[in-house]
Amino acid sequence: MPGSDIMKRRGERGERGPKEEEEEDEDGEEEEEEEDVGPPPNPFIHEVHLRGAWQHMKFYLLGVLLFPLRFLLTTFFLFLMWPFAVLRVVGLTEEELRQPIRHRRRFFHHAIRFLSRCMFFVTGFYRIKIKGRMASSLEAPILLAAPHSTFFDTLVVVPCDLPSVVSRVENLSIPVIGALLRFNQSILVSRHDPTSRKKVVEEVKRRATFRGEWPQLLFYPEGTTANGKVLLKFKPGAFIAGVPVQPILIRYPNKLPATTWTWKGNGVFKVLWLSMSQLYLSVEVEFLPVYHPNEAEKADPTLYASGVQRVMAGALGIPATDYELIGDMPVSPIGQLKVALELGLWELGKILKRARCLPMKAESCGGPCMEESDRRLSQEEFADRLNLTDSVTTSKAFSYFQKDARGCVDLHEVILVLAALDAVRSAKDVAELAFKLFAETQQGDENGPHLYEEGFTTILRCLLGTPCLESSKVFAEICEGMSAVGLSKDGFLDFSLHHPCYRQLFCYYLRPPARAKKRHRHSQRPELPTAATASSALWPNGTCTQTSNLENGRRPGHQKAS
């Protein structure tokens, strides 16, 4: 995937990229609607910046006093749980641990729950506000907590009476944590055992259908933390058993959103410092009514997960999305594609801008070679074309492009990427140039050059980093029912600029974030969607049919972290 080396350096922060001009309509007039198009809201990014001398002084003074004390007390209560957790399971065989623990050992359960509440109390959560009623294990064997925005979300186990969880088997070796996992008979999954996930699914089904004898199972269905402004796509694991579930909403109504911990943003220490430096932390845990799946949802865990996600999003008043974290990459599905929320193209733009190579006209890089058949560039020729003098910068920029057996890159790919990074080009300009660079005239093409599968996949690969297999499926989809095997210029422009789903690739995802950030500073904050509107439609990220909010750039409930 192009830009993979650059994406590994995702922790590097800087300017997002150049400002993009508005797309022109067929008559050459600028469409006012396109003016507000910005990058996708990335729910995996959250940063807290203190503002003003008073806020800095308050947090540094309180931090010096409160953070060490609270951290030591939190650690004390955590380690105090250790002997109680060990005593509850001591002497029990592995076979006995596969059955619910009852009788005299119930005392240790109450002791751990009390110490857990003390631990979160000294952390700053003096009160956990509870709304609704928790269902029994007979009513709902599975509990679902969302949005998952921080490691503090573990506090939900206190009002939930210490339910079992699913955790990695490697966590058993961590002091205290391993003992607590054995204490509440957690289900363990191993990444190294290919049959482990199947065993976990079977164990979840077994416990969920045990008529209330087992403790309830707690899942965080998003699978990772986000900034809480949207709901990520729910993983299907909690829904495979097809039993009723109880959704649980977690809110942190604090003035400073210091508790949030995401894929990119504030580190663990900063989150702990800012959170424990506040006089108190507020949290609300709301139990929603039990969700009973219909027959179709029982047969399809993905459909079941989607239904519960919409209900929870409606209650929260935030969008339900299909955003997810695949491996180490946050992605958003666009039709048959999974597009990275932070494109390698943007990282390349930052590298070239620091090297003072941007803005650069793409044609100035191509020159007379745009029509040459042999257009391969070595790293030295690449540096000469872009006027790069630093070898490290050249190597980073060169690594973005796909190389052939000789280690050379395609000049046309370089030209197209530079055009996409050009501040004065509209989406229509980029699409027209892409067609000009990669269209071919084959025998029998009476109506001029066409864009065939190889050129089409190359365009999406070098701009968006999409694998050729996914791009080929999209090409087959848009060419289905057409007499020609390739796309004409009008056909490609219709795909790039007017397709109800894929137009987002050129008109939305190629827009660098800096443009949206500047625009939000001068625009009125968008209103949060109501529960009714949030539950009626998915967030417009390429998988839903309602794309009006996406196309005009107004994203309910999203605001750049500051």
Q: pLDDT by residue (tens digit) across 207-237?
A: 888 777 788 999 999 988 999 999 999 999 8
Q: In angstroms, rounded to a whole number, what is the distance separating the alpha carbons of residues 237 and 197? A: 9
Contact 274, 48 (CB under 8 A): yes
CA distance 480 to 245: 41
In the chain, the number of structural domains is 2
Of 3-7, 244-248, 407-411, which range is least confident? Answer: 3-7
In a domain, 263, yes or no: yes
| Domain membership flag for residue 515 | no
**Residue 15: inside a domain, yes or no?**
no
Q: Do both 356 and 452 map to the same domain?
A: yes
**Neighbour tally for 404: CB within 10 Å:** 9
The distance from CA 69 to its chain's CA centroid, rounded to whole angstroms, is: 35
The alpha carbon dihedral of 5, 10, 16, 21 has a sign of positive
Same domain for 362 and 278, yes or no, is no
- Unique residue bearing structure tokens 């030295």: 380
93 vs 473 pLDDT, higher one: 473
Tokens standing for residue 492: 């490609």
SS3 call for 330: strand
**Tokens linked to 99:** 């059955």
SS3 222: coil
- Determine, yes or no, domain membership for 189: yes
Backbone angles phi, psi at 308, to 5 degrees: -65, -40
Query: Is 104 in the same domain as 148?
Result: yes
Please, what is the Cα angle at 536 between 532 and 539, to 5 degrees? 110
Distance CA 430, CA 422 (A): 9
Report if residue 37 sits inside a domain. no
Show which of 487, 508, 529 is a domain's final residue.
Answer: 508
Within-domain flag for 471: yes
Whether 21 is in a domain gets the answer no
Q: Position 214: which residue type?
A: W
Q: Phi/psi of residue 364, each to 5°?
A: -70, -25
Domain match, 307 and 443 both: no
Same domain, residue pair 284 and 374: no
Phi, psi at 227, each rounded to 5°: -85, 0
Instruction: Give the per-residue pLDDT at 360.
Output: 62
The model carries a pTM of 0.76
Q: Is the domain of 189 the same as that of 266?
A: yes
Mapping DSSP to helix (H, G, I), strand (E, B) and coil, where does residue 39 land? coil
Residue 444: predicted pLDDT: 64
pLDDT over 70 (residue 440): yes
> For the ranges 90-94, 337-341, 472-476, 511-515, which has the lowest average pLDDT?
511-515
Residues 385 and 316 in one domain: no
Q: Is the pLDDT higher at 299 or at 448? A: 299
Place of tokens 């490697």: 170
- Please tell me whether residue 86 adopts helix, strand or coil conformation: helix
Domain of residue 400 covers 340-508
Reading the block at residue 303, the tokens are 């459909």
d(CA 474, CA 487): 12
For residues 4-24, average pLDDT: 41
In a 13 Å sphere around the CA of 114, the CA atoms on its Cβ side amount to 8
Tell me the residue type at 539.
Answer: W
Residue 391 shares a structural domain with residue 470: yes
* Cβ atoms of residues 552 and 526 within 8 Å: no
Same domain, 310 and 404: no
CA atoms within 13 A on the CB side of 428: 15
Residue 489 near residue 448, CB atoms below 8 Å: yes
Q: How high is the mean pLDDT of the chain?
A: 79
Please write the tens of the pLDDT for every residue from 441-461. Answer: 876 666 778 899 999 999 999
CB of 513 closer than 8 Å to CB of 41: no
Compute the CA torsion angle 422, 45, 336, 305 (nearest 10 deg).
-160
> Domain ends where: 462, 492, 508?
508
Greatest alpha-carbon span in the chain: 86
Same domain, 265 and 363: no
